[in-house]
Amino acid sequence: MKRFNTYILIILLVISGKTFAQQTPADKQSEPVTIVGATAHLGNGEVIENSLIIFEDGVITEVIAANLTKRQNPGKIINAKGKHVYPGFIAPNSTLGLVEIAAVKATEDDDEMGEMLPNVRSLIAYNAESKIVESMRPNGVLLGQIVPRGGLISGTSSIVQFDAWNWEDAVVKENDGLHINWPDAFRRGRWWRDEEPGLKANKEYQENIQKLSDFFTSSKAYLAGERDYKNLPYLAMDSVFNGNKKVFVHVNGEKEIMDVIQFKKDHALKGLVIVGGYDALGVAKELKSNDIPVLVNRPHSTPNKAYEDYDYPYKLAKLLQDAGVLVALESSGQMERMNTRNLPFYAGTVAAFGMDKEEALKLITSNTAKILGIDDKYGSLEKGKSATLFISEGDALDMRTNILSHAFIDGREVSLETHQTELWKRYSKKYKDQESK
């Protein structure tokens, strides 16, 4: 009986392993790759019809019009005539790889206990084997900023690519930014505390800002002193003060954004970024003059206020860009990890509501790369940059035509198969077989 149970266990493990095991990451690029004939959307606003793109050892060596050369092209040749080439899309402010199933507590690793946690690093909790992460690639989302949640200071994010065995292999930029959850000046009554319903001033607002300010001041004093004891949160702030780590402030209201700008000045912070910025348009002039970019929340949402235009979330990115603010898109919110795969379609929605399509593309490529500080290697198709790109059958910002045939991360051709595509093929075949009977 024991032997029988052992056999059953082995069979179950084999089946589950086949069903749930991580795909093997792609091997390092071994030969040059030449893509010929595609319409190349460079990610910087430019388009090259009938393009020639060559990359070797993971780096782009040529991006030109195909009719400018008659030479013999090296390595593997991909005929992409009639197709489109794009730089890999970048998903900022994401919890991909930190939570797999929200209803299962054991799979959640995006929030630590405490208020001031700059020393918490999301990278070491990142699960490269996540099935959700895998599902990003078929839509062209190949890079992401992995961000912790919770507390006043959530911790430190890192940027990864989406085809790796583990976080060590995945990391593109380690400890890129500190994340602050700015308190709300107004909030609704909390029923679990027997508070009256409705919006009212947050009595703890100034107190929480003072907590943040005191923490920054104490950290700076500690770092400037003799350090006769080790304080990990204070030590983690060193890279913030020297400018090596950006500060991402998650905030939406006008008053709160103005207070963030003052906080930036008070503590001489470099590289501050607004995340969310729902009411940022009202203070766009101040954001521009202080060189503060905004990661705008996904446009597929309804207006927060009754007097706002129905399409305000759709056109907010364009309005901020028109005001001179550097803008990119992020996708936090309800079901944020699954919805991150819709990043290109968020940009498509912005284009449908007034923004030029190549400018909308920048919201998920070069603008994002600039804001995250990785534009030296990623975000656009340019000579000397990483060969992180994909080929689509059609317009990648349209869900009807964004059908990928090839995708590359640092020159490695990655798989476009996922658990979802396997199920799609299985059940498509099932219904086709039934129709043919």
Q: What is the pLDDT of residues 205-253, one digit of tens each?
A: 999 999 999 999 999 999 998 888 899 999 999 999 999 999 999 999 9
Which residue among 328, 362, 378 closes a domain? 378
- Asked if residue 83 is part of any domain, the answer here is yes
Q: Is the pLDDT of residue 97 over 60?
A: yes
Q: Is the pLDDT of residue 13 over 50?
A: no
274 and 392 within one domain: no
162 and 274 within one domain: yes
Helix, strand, coil share (%) of the chain residues, nearest 5: 35, 25, 40
Domain that residue 399 falls in: 21-88+381-437
Percent of the chain at pLDDT > 90 equals 73
347 and 391 within one domain: no
- Asked if residue 394 is part of any domain, the answer here is yes
Q: Determine the pLDDT at residue 432.
A: 79
- Residue of 240, 238, 236, 235 lying closest to 270 (CA atoms): 240
Paired tokens of 196: 């009256």
- Asked if residue 15 is part of any domain, the answer here is no
Q: Determine the pLDDT at residue 68.
A: 66
pLDDT tens digits for range 331-387: 998 888 889 999 999 999 999 999 999 999 999 999 999 999 999 999 999 999 999
Q: Is the pLDDT of residue 22 over 70?
A: no
Q: Determine the pLDDT at residue 204.
A: 87
28 and 102 within one domain: no
pLDDT tens digits for range 121-163: 999 999 999 999 999 999 999 999 999 999 999 999 999 999 9
- Asked if residue 2 is part of any domain, the answer here is no
Tell which wins on pLDDT, 114 or 380.
Answer: 380
Residue type, 385: K
**What average pLDDT does the chain have?**
90
**Residue 237, C-beta contacts closer than 8 angstroms, at least 6 positions apart:** 118, 178, 216, 219, 220, 223
Helices 343-352 and 312-322, interaxial angle, to 10°?
Answer: 80
Which residue among 362, 378, 394 closes a domain? 378
Burial label for 283, CB within 10 Å (0-12, 13-18, 19+), is buried
- Asked if residue 7 is part of any domain, the answer here is no
Give me the count of residues in the chain. Answer: 437
Lowest mean pLDDT among 56-65, 73-82, 119-128, 139-148: 73-82
156 and 25 within one domain: no
How large is the average pLDDT for residues 59-73?
Answer: 81
**CB distance 285 to 244 below 8 Å:** no
- CATH number at 309 reads 3.20.20.140
358 and 419 within one domain: no
Q: Is the pLDDT of residue 93 over 80?
A: yes
108 and 33 within one domain: no
Q: Determine the pLDDT at residue 16.
A: 44
How large is the average pLDDT for residues 5-31?
Answer: 62
Q: How confident is the model at residue 17 (pLDDT cuts 50, 70, 90)?
A: very low
Using CA atoms, how far residue 137 sits from 199, 259, 267, 342, 402, in Å, is: 41, 38, 40, 11, 12
231 and 144 within one domain: yes
Lowest mean pLDDT among 67-81, 163-177, 342-356: 67-81
- Asked if residue 227 is part of any domain, the answer here is yes
- CATH number at 403 reads 2.30.40.10
174 and 81 within one domain: no
Residue type, 320: L
Query: Strand 246-251 and strand 199-201: pairing?
Result: unpaired
323 and 232 within one domain: yes
Residue type, 16: S
115 and 59 within one domain: no
Q: Determine the pLDDT at residue 198.
A: 72
CA distance 238 to 350: 38
Q: Is the pLDDT of residue 9 over 70?
A: no
pTM: predicted TM-score of the whole model, two decimal places:
0.90
- Asked if residue 357 is part of any domain, the answer here is yes
Lowest mean pLDDT among 152-161, 297-306, 322-331: 297-306
Q: Is the pLDDT of residue 110 over 80?
A: no
How large is the average pLDDT for residues 289-311?
Answer: 93
Q: Is the pLDDT of residue 410 over 80?
A: yes
- Residue of 281, 288, 344 lying closest to 318 (CA atoms): 281
Q: Determine the pLDDT at residue 334.
A: 84
Lowest mean pLDDT among 315-324, 355-364, 379-388, 423-432: 423-432
Q: Give me the number of domains the chain comprises.
A: 2
Tokens 């583990």 belong to residue: 166
Which residue among 352, 378, 404 closes a domain? 378
- Asked if residue 12 is part of any domain, the answer here is no
Strand segments (E) across 277-366: 294-296, 327-329
How large is the average pLDDT for residues 91-101?
Answer: 91
Q: Determine the pLDDT at residue 322.
A: 97
pLDDT tens digits for range 266-290: 999 999 999 999 999 999 999 999 9
397 and 363 within one domain: no
